[in-house]
Amino acid sequence: MSRVVVLGGSGAMGARVSEVLRGRGHDVVAASRATGVDVVTGVGLDDVLSGAETVLDCLNVVTLSRRTAVSFFGGAAARVAAAAERAGVGHVVCLSIVNVSEAAVRRATGYYGGKAAQEEAYSAGTVPLTLARTTAWFSLAETFLGQIRLGPVALVPGIRLRPVHPAAAAAFLADAVEAGPPVAGGPAVLQLAGPEPLDSAAMARAVARARHPGVRVVRVPVPMAGLREGLVPHGEVPVDRRRFAEWLVER
């Protein structure tokens, strides 16, 4: 099996997919600032990528600032792509978001603008690239409860989603690693969605009822179509059949 470096390996998805890859027999290095790898400065990148066959980018930054998101995601991707080329890495897999390259979506929030910049920076590099795009994960409902709070009230934007189980996203990423690099042309684009359309505020209310009974969710209308409707995949895409209601009772 291959040597895989997971960037953002201490994060929620990075840690999860590292475990999946190890379970499949891969030699996995979960890289983060805690292990001496800083994608903002580039410190440690050359060392950690030496001998790697695949780099899996699960990096994340929590921000609503477009400048911060574009600087982090775009800058890190450019540094990783250059280091991967120097190290002779054969494949980069980038965790991304369904539809994030579309103009209306990337304009909707600074975060999506940053993820679009990340895709562009990797695409400009020379190392074969797979863009592994998923819809929102079920766990986003927990995030919404804490993002905009006024005491016990959580303000949650009304977004139409096709959310997917986090475990399915981790397996999807591991599959993308094992599929190997695209054989020709530009980046390979893989997608994964959940089984049903859901409203983000309804998801947050369900989580509040099940796990945070003191929190009241207020749905906030979203004026930008790119955010309100743009995160649902177009046409037929592969679907994981596990439903949000099942995830709610898992823990």
Residue 251 banded pLDDT, cuts 50, 70, 90:
low
> 3-248, superfamily in CATH?
NAD(P)-binding Rossmann-like Domain (3.40.50.720)
- Say yes or no to pLDDT of 225 above 90: no
**Of 73-87, 168-182, 226-240, minimum mean pLDDT range:** 226-240
**Average per-residue pLDDT in the chain?**
95
- In whole angstroms, give the CA distance from residue 162 to residue 198: 6
Instruction: Determine the average pLDDT of the residues in 87-103.
Output: 97
pTM: 0.94
E-assigned strands of the chain? Answer: 3-7, 27-31, 54-57, 91-97, 129-134, 149-150, 153-157, 160-161, 188-192, 198-199, 216-220
Quote the CA–CA distance of 31 and 46 in Å, as a whole number: 12
β-strand 198-199 against 3-7: which pairing, if any? unpaired
Return the percentage of the chain with pLDDT > 70, whole number.
Answer: 100
Task: For residues 126-135, give the mean pLDDT.
Answer: 97
Flag whether pLDDT at 232 surpasses 90.
yes
**Residue 49 reports pLDDT greater than 80:** yes
* pLDDT surpassing 90 at residue 183: no
Q: How many CB atoms lie within 10 A of CB 146?
A: 11
- Listed by start position, the domains of the chain span 3-248
pLDDT of 1 > 80? The answer is no
Q: pLDDT band at residue 62, thresholds of 50, 70 and 90?
A: confident
Name the nearest CA neighbour of 33 among 24, 44, 22: 44
